[in-house]
Structure 1
Amino acid sequence: MKKIVPALFCALYFCVPAFSQDAKTPLSLDGIVSRLQTLSTTKATEKVYLHFDRTTYNAGDTVFFKAYLTLGEQHQLSKLSGVLHADLVNPNDSLVKYITLQVNNGLAWGDFALPNSLPKGLYHIKAYTKWMLNSTDPNVFDQPIIINSPVSPTRTLSAQQTKIANTYDIQFFPEGGTFVNDIPAKLAFKAIDHNGIGANVKGVVVDNLNTEVTKFEARHLGMGIINITPVEGRTYKARLTYADGTSATVDLPKAEEKGMTLLVNNTSPDKLLIEINANRAYYLANKNKEIGITIYSGGGAVRSVKTALDGQVLDLNLGKKDFQTGIVRVTLFSATGEPMNERLSFIQNDDLINLQTAVNKQSYTSREKVHLTLNAKKDDKPVMGYFSASVVDATKIQVDETAETTILTHLLLTSDLKGFVEQPNYYFNHVTNDTRADLDMLMLTQGYRRFEWKQILANDETTTLTYPVERGLDISGTVKTNNGAPVANGNVTLLTKNGGSMLNQVTDANGRFIFPNLAYTDNTPFVIQAKTAEGKNNTQIIMDMPKEATLFTNNNRLTGSAEAGNGDGKPGPASVYMADASGKLLKEVIVKDKFLDSHSNTITDFTDQSGLGRSLEGHLPGVSLTNGVPYLRDRIGISEAGPMLVIVDGMQGGSVPDLNVSDVESVKMLKNLDAAIYGLQGSNGVLLITTKKNKNLTVNKKLSPGLITYAPKGFYKARTFYSPAYGGTVKQANKPDDRITIYWNPDVATDKDGNATLDFYNADGKGNYRVIIEGIDENGAIGRSVYTYKVE
């Protein structure tokens, strides 16, 4: 007989993981709840989401974006970090550009200007605060963008592409984490192909007597459910058949002889139904012992209930209206506070911001002015919020709405899941019973691990932070005498070269000084003066080079330097996968820095300051430049040499770019066998040009004893999106307007009535124009609207 558990809950707010350590002493359920409450007041997690004007670009375009930085499980705009880092990463996992943005009240916006010489390919933009990087699994925002270009990509292949085709993997996940004899169970599965994409599969389950138990088939993106009741003394296998005919046989998890299961039924629109089952062996051994349940929701609330195990089946019904939209984590604890089972579900309530968008006409003509109105409401009340708006010519951009990353998919779902989530907007775009069921399978397979229970139970809140909270930018350094001795208690003065406020600091015993939490734009000129405690200026000022956290894009490892390492502080070898002209993979070559340094000609000192091309003339043996295109005269093997391969900061180009030599760190030449790592493309020789833009170098010039100028990298100042205003000059009328992004506005704010208006002009393109508006309010409520109008 089932027992109905009374819903006697205690609620608290929780917003962040604890730090990993094994549990030392058992905790009661009240102790677990108290531990969560204590941790929630001392720890905080941040998330960042970027809204782009679009995600497909051409070389030479500008990528515009707005950043929403939130804090805690209720997604309130973060007032913790004041600095956001954004990286543009190429298909070969090399950093192309990075910018630093000043965050005000959790909001910022920026852009990346794409060079005309940028090769085509799938790039990534990553965004993060340094505070996020203290986590062992940093919640870094990662958005792939497609760049089209006449410049072909390099022929290097990633390790992912070396996997053998037509190989599959499948994993099985018992609901609640346990598979127990004599209890009906849901066994979720996910099958993926060699690219990590969900694979269609079907099969049959047989037991060790070769008796067919049940059939099954993937329902969505390689995910599906096997309904099975394991029997004592039996083991089970799944005989699989994939869509291309590949077959395999795999073992199902082995059922436990005694235990409990946790089942959650999320099909009801109003109720979350929880069922706890104990098989007879477990029930007899633990009859009338206390068990506990916690329900942790995406809105940050934790509810708990205690009951006695006085029956084999216990039921608990929860009203969904009591939860915010997001992930709900149900955990079953034993009497000693040991987590036994866990089940994840996703609640979809009508609690998001409702954005109503409209234009003043049913259809428009080319270059006609559009007046767009926006109204934001939540629970039928107006919302004062912060939004960003993008309008694109939908005939020029192919959009798969199910695969889009949105403010809803990221903040509510994918940022809290492990691994790659395919088609995240499928679960939000048009919500139906089918999408809810498929979303439940996603919860059963990819799981939610914002924290591990062993971390919570460890009762150890101490940790050493690698990165403190960045409120602003720091300028720091060391003052020494001309003999190299540190200047203690010296006076350091900082002021901008163009005048303004003057700041003062006193050096410590080691001559160190720091001006913390400053706000200045890129290359702001400062003047720094240092004097001894006695007022003498016989000092030298050594500025600190900013220490940037580098994201390793393949596995998200972090380091404080710009070089990959082996964990010992030394740069590690780089794997280069070469291919011939047909794309066929050749053998892997391990490239080490020492090899390159000893087998190349490198220039780091440029005598001619008029330009890079002129400075290289005559300084690279056997190389000549024709209209900026380098040719190698002494190449071995073929009489007619083609142009050399030019790579600037990891990106392929056709000619030596017109750079100021002051912006160039080094130029390295590879030829003959040394260029073999680049395959056929390197057969004519290679020029590796490294600029200073990724080195965080600053201009530092000594004016006189104890006085220097200093121009560090600061906050990036975002560009203003250009939107033409027609109806004016003849010159405008005769100029073609082939814009893809018609309008971009990162700073849309609704008033006390929830209203805002936008005005812009259409381009020449005809067809459907797509309007996307996303945003958030001060309380963390989020919303998104997609609207389409026609241009004829």
Structure 2
Amino acid sequence: MPACNNEKYSLLFFKALLLGWSFPLLLFSQASSPDTKKLVDDLQVLSKQKSSDLVYFQTSKGIYETEEDVWFKCYVLNPQSYTLSAQSKTLFVQLINDKTQQAVWEEKYEIKNGIVDGHLYLQDSLQAGGYTLTAYSPHSFYKNTSEFYAARKLRVVKKITENRMVVEVTKDSVFDFKMFPEGGHLVSGIRNTLAFKATNSKCEPVIVSGTLFENNKPLIEFKSVHAGMGRFVFKPDINKTYYVEISNPKSTKRYSIPKIQTKGMSMQLVGSNKDFLLFNIAQNKALKETVIYMRLQVRGEVYSLAKTSLNSQVKIRVPLKDVPKGIAEVTLFNANFEPICERLVFIKPDQKLYIKTTLDKSEYSIREKATLKIQVTDEHQQPVVAHLGVSIYDKIYKNPKDAKNIVTHYHLTTQLKGKLYNPAYYFDLKSQNRKEALNLLLLTQGWRRYVWNETNLKELSRPKQIVFDDIKGKITLPKKLQKKPQQSLPALIAYNPQNEGQKKIIFVDSTKTFTIEPKHLKMGRQVYLKLLASQKPKYTFNINDYAFKAINAIRKTKAINYPLVDRNTIKPEKVKPFKYPSDIKVLDEVMVKAKKRKVHRDKYLGKLDSIAKLEMTTDYVCKENILNCPVHGPFEKGNKKPVEGKIYGIHWRTVYEEHGGPPPSGIIPKHPPYKYPVLTDEYLMSRFNLLRVKGYYGKREFYQPVYDNEKSIEDPFPDYRNTLYWNPSVITNEKGVATLEFFCSDINTNFIGNIEGVGSNGLLGNVLFEFFITKLTD
């Protein structure tokens, strides 16, 4: 728990006495005071006003063929605790063509306790190429933000055999070299750490080496440690000149170091582990002894605050026992509570969900049953109840150009401004220097790059929503009746025509406004609203369901913050696409032709269309099959309504009246095929006093065959499933265990399993595993 919470909190203060580097620090706690209370309250009030969701997409695979379903799971988490959030009820999802930036799919999905279980269908008319799946909730997509995170890059192909994973290898003449003083400033006369980062025009890292010059003489040689980043320590002097020259890649340009301050303070992280951080705070001789404060906050929650006197230098040891995993902002304030140094530190990088997978076999035959055991624990090997998404698919459908997973998304991408390069490296246990690399990443972010910084939070202190869970509607009267007092207001009934027993009343308030809530959107994909009012006076009503229109107007103004993949990891895929057996003929295309026939998109409207046509026409057919027969009259027994498309006769009397004489000899007069008037959907809705609103997109069960006997195993009908298993709602028991079963298909190749999820304690985790399916031969 944080050290501070609302008005009732206790602060842990650390006071360090300057007794020399070899002496231990004197640590003690004391009650909060009015001056230090401000450093806590100001930040936490701003963080509560932010009140946003963080949304993450997990998909069943990364590459899809047209005419396939994209199965996805969305995690909607509280941005501070990383637990499932319940504040939003509706998720608006789009599939966007990266080339045209047009949405080719957009639907609403229900958020149930922070989870969305959804799918969408890829039409065969889609062009092959890159697409982006995006999601917007009422509390994650705002007008006053510049970056957007809830996205997943997909690749769509006509056939997997046509997928060409091209790695662009081009010479980039653009070279950007930037330097970042630890704490924010270089100060004359004291030791400073200067970090650096080298990138090309695509924000990809460039490995560099170079030299720092002092008064035109080489002072320090340096080279990058990871992804074009590195650092060196020196003592700058305001009376000397400094510059950097890059020797590799060869450059003739001289890079000026950041401005050196005549007087000031520096903050250096000199030690860290899972239990504490150790900082050295120093100031030059130009400053007198003063009081300083050090504050550590994670995602807008203050966890510790230190107060001490500073003469020349002092060490402050900050314990991390109750601090959660993630980026922490450590800020140094002067006696006037002005920030003078700032440092980002990643706390407890090894704290996560540890997901262990055990298959009953490492290799399976086609159509064989497989059993997967999942064990989830924390870093102390204690079991964790977790909500997991599990996908198992042909490895060739893995998108090597996608560098995102649930851990990097929540702990890095959504916490820092700007695009990150290969963020998975920092949490891969196989990366030997990952902790130093992660430290360099945060050193090279500079000031105000943390989204929870007070300056950034002030910009979002009053988020401006774009979409909402509810849909508002309004009832109006004709102008001549609007000023007259009404005795009572009408109500509406919401219903799904496919489920006549499911009806809900919607009441209208005194302002003639009504609200369509998520409980109404759950009734079906198409929800109808009928106004329960008399025809006189004539009420009209409308709804404001413009969510996607508002999204499309705003989304192009925002940059999608998506991580960059390490090109060195994109290698030609050794897994070969599945080849169909020689006795199976695969047709490239099947053309099905049919006569064009106009049909209504909605069966219910088709029914209303028929009723309206019968009600509005006065035409009739007599028992002699004559249309509008003048002899039998419209009310004679045996008359019937005409049928569209049929041909009816014309009575001789009508011919005489219309043509002034008999028809030519031998010709029996006939009407052309009968046609009813064409009625639009808008006309039908108005005639029956209806409105229609699009509800939540329906769920669909993922298909899994069962080969439980010899007959089913030997079924000659081929099974070419490339996704063997998809389950977005695997929940481990109190022992952290879940056991799954699935059946292999006829595709004999490498398969990959992907598991991602969130624990009840807010820990995140992911794991990949592989196995092989082979076709046994006699």
Same fold (TM over 0.5): yes
Partner residue in 1 for 2:613: none
Question: Which segment is superposed worse, 479-488 or 293-302?
Answer: 479-488
Q: Report the equivalent of 2:766.
A: 784
Q: Pick from 690, 699, 710: which aligns with 1:709?
A: 690
1:280 alignment counterpart: 285
What secondary structure, in the 3-state scheme, does the structure 2 residue paired with 1:177 have? coil
The answer on whether the counterparts of 1:700 and 1:711 sit within 8 Å (CA) in structure 2 is no
State the one-letter code of the partner of 1:382: P
Equivalents in 1 of 2:300, 2:387: separation in Å?
A: 20
Secondary structure of 1:411 counterpart: helix
Aligned pairs for 1:582-661 (under 5 A) are 610=598
Match of 2:211 in 1: 204
- Is 1:95 the counterpart of 2:97 in the alignment? no
**Which residue of 2 is the match for residue 45 of structure 1?**
52
Matched to 1:711, the amino acid is R
TM-score of the superposed pair, with normalisation by structure 1: 0.71
Going from structure 1 to structure 2, the CA distance change for 1:767 and 1:351 (only over 3 Å counts) comes to same
Number of the residue aligned with 2:388: 387
Residue 221 of structure 2 aligns to a residue in which SS?
strand
Check the 8 A contact 1:329/1:342 in 2, yes or no: yes
The one of 219, 227, 231 equivalent to 1:221 is: 227
- What is aligned with 1:754? 736
- 2:236 pairs with 1:230: yes
Residue range with higher mean Cα deviation, 129-138 or 85-94: 129-138
Q: Deviations over 1:343-396 (max 9, x none)?
A: 011123553223222112242112211011122233443322211101122255
Instruction: Output the aligned Cα RMSD.
Output: 3.5
How many angstroms does 1:408 deviate by? 1.1
1:67 deviates by 0.9
Once the two structures are TM-superposed, the CA of residue 119 in structure 1 deviates from its matched residue by 2.2
**Maintained 8 Å contact 1:479/1:540:** yes
Quick one: which of 163, 185, 192 aligns to 1:185?
192
Aligned residue number for residue 175 of structure 1: 182
Contact 1:473 1:714 in 2 (8 A): no
Deviations 1:386-416 (A, max 9, x none): 111011222554647xx63111111122110
Quick one: distance in 2 between partners of 1:747 and 1:237? Answer: 56
Going from structure 1 to structure 2, the CA distance change for 1:342 and 1:713 (only over 3 Å counts) comes to: same
Residue 580 of structure 1 corresponds to which residue in structure 2? none
Contact 2:304-2:318 within 8 A present in 1 as well: no
The residue type equivalent to 1:219 in the other structure is V
2:704 is matched with 723
Cα distance in 2 for residues equivalent to 1:149 and 1:242:
44
Mapped contact 1:4–1:314 kept (Cα < 8 A): no
Q: Distance in 1 between matches of 2:242 and 2:711?
A: 77
Tell me which moved more, 75-84 or 494-503. Answer: 494-503
Task: Describe how 1:284-323 pairs up with structure 2 within 5 A.
Answer: 284=288, 287=289, 289-297=290-298, 300-309=301-310, 311-323=311-323
Counterpart of 1:110, as a letter, is G
Please state if 1:765 is matched with 2:747: yes
Amino acid at match of 1:393: D
Paired residue for 2:716?
734
User: SS in structure 1 opposite 2:54?
Assistant: strand
Alignment of 1:105-116 (within 5 A): 105-116=113-124
Q: CA deviation at 1:438?
A: 0.6
Relative distance call for 1:35 and 1:523 in structure 2 (3 A) is same
Where 1:425 maps in the other structure, the secondary structure is helix
Determine if the alignment matches structure 1 residue 257 to structure 2 residue 262. Answer: yes
Q: Any gaps of 5 or more consecutive residues in structure 2? A: 1-19, 163-167, 561-595, 601-679
Q: CA deviation at 1:42?
A: 5.2
Q: Equivalents in 2 of 1:461, 1:194: separation in Å?
A: 30
Matched AA of 1:365: S
Q: CA deviation digits over 1:307-337, x for unaligned, max 9?
A: 111x311112234444222111110001101
Q: CA deviation at 1:115?
A: 2.1
Is the CA contact 1:10–1:302 (under 8 Å) kept in the aligned structure 2? no
User: Are the aligned partners of 1:62 and 1:113 in contact in 2 as well (CA < 8 Å)?
Assistant: yes
Query: Any conservation in 1 of the 2:492–2:530 contact (CA below 8 Å)?
Result: yes
Residue 374 of structure 2 is matched in structure 1 by 374
1:774 to 750, 753, 756: 756
2: CA distance, partners of 1:421 / 1:396: 24
Deviation readout 1:54-84 (Å, 9 max, x if unpaired): 2222233322111111113111110111112
Q: 1:254–1:280: structure 2 CA closer, same or farther, 3 Å change rule?
A: same
Aligned mates of 2:120, 2:271 — CA distance in 1: 43
Q: In the alignment, is the contact (CA less than 8 A) between 1:482 and 1:539 conserved in 2?
A: no
Question: Does the Cα contact within 8 Å between 2:89 and 2:112 map onto a contact in 1?
Answer: yes
Aligned to 1:440, the other structure's residue is in SS state helix
Question: Matched residues in 1 for 2:351 and 2:735: separation?
Answer: 18
Query: Which residue of 2 is the match for residue 20 of structure 1?
Result: none
Higher Cα Rg: structure 1 or 2? 2
Whether 1:430 and 2:429 are equivalent positions in the alignment is yes
Amino acid at match of 1:524: Q
2:541 matched residue in structure 1:
541
What secondary structure is seen at the aligned counterpart in 2 of 1:337? coil
- The equivalent of 1:637 in structure 2 is none
Rounded to whole Å, the distance in 2 between the matches of 1:230 and 1:439 is: 26
1:506 Cα deviation after fit: 2.5
Q: Amino acid of the residue matched to residue 35 of structure 2? A: S
C-alpha contact (below 8 Å) 2:64/2:70 kept by paired residues:
yes
CA distance in 1: counterparts of 2:492 and 2:60, whole angstroms: 43
Counterpart of 1:70 in structure 2 is: 77
Residues 474 and 515 in structure 1, CA contact (< 8 A), matched pair in contact too: yes
Question: How many Å apart are 1:259 and its aligned residue?
Answer: 0.5
Q: What is the CA deviation profile of residues 465-496 of structure 1, one whole-angstrom value per residue up to 9, with x for unaligned ones?
A: 4347x4x4425233232869589663131231
Q: 2:475 aligns with which of 478, 481, 492?
A: 478
Post-superposition offset of 1:167: 1.3
Shift of 1:528: 1.5
2:411 equivalent in structure 1: 412
Partner of 1:500: 502
C-alpha contact (below 8 Å) 1:197/1:422 kept by paired residues: yes
In 1: Cα distance, 2:538 partner to 2:422 partner: 64
In 1, Cα distance between equivalents of 2:248 and 2:64: 36
2:63 equivalent in structure 1: 56
Alpha carbons 2:471, 2:544 under 8 Å: kept: no
SS in 1 for 2:286: helix
**C-alpha distance in 1 between matches for 2:246 and 2:474:** 63
Q: What SS does the aligned partner of 2:517 have?
A: strand
Equivalence for 1:123: 131
Q: Judging changes above 3 Å, is the alpha-carbon distance between structure 1 residues 116 and 151 closer, same or farther for their aligned structure 2 residues?
A: farther
Deviations 1:406-456 (A, max 9, x none): 111111221101111111111112255501111111111235422333477
Counterpart-to-counterpart distance in 2, 1:129 and 1:461: 16
Alpha carbons of structure 1 residues 280 and 464: separation in structure 2 relative to 1, 3 Å: same
1-structure distance, mates of 2:362, 2:713 = 29
* Number of the residue aligned with 2:355: 355
**Relative to 1, partners in 2 of residues 1:261 and 1:79: Cα closer, same or farther, differing over 3 Å?**
same
- 2:685–2:691 contact (8 Å) kept in structure 1: no
Superposed, 1:448-467 pairs within 5 Å as: 448-454=449-455, 463=462, 465-467=464-466
1:86 touches 1:128 (CA, 8 Å); kept in 2? yes
Q: CA deviation at 1:544?
A: 2.7
Distance 2:751 2:422 in 1: 23
TM-score, length-scaled by structure 2: 0.72
Identity of aligned residues (%): 25
Between 415-424 and 769-778, the greater mean CA deviation after superposition: 769-778
What CA deviation, in whole Å up to 9, does each residue of 1:239-279 have, x standing for no partner? 22554x55532221121111111111355454322111111
Corresponding pairs, count: 619
Structure 1 residues 313 and 96, CA gap change in structure 2 (3 angstroms)? same
Aligned AA (1:714): G
Give the structure 2 partner of residue 514 of structure 1.
515
Give the 3 Å change call, closer, same or farther, for CA 466–748 of structure 1 in structure 2.
Answer: closer
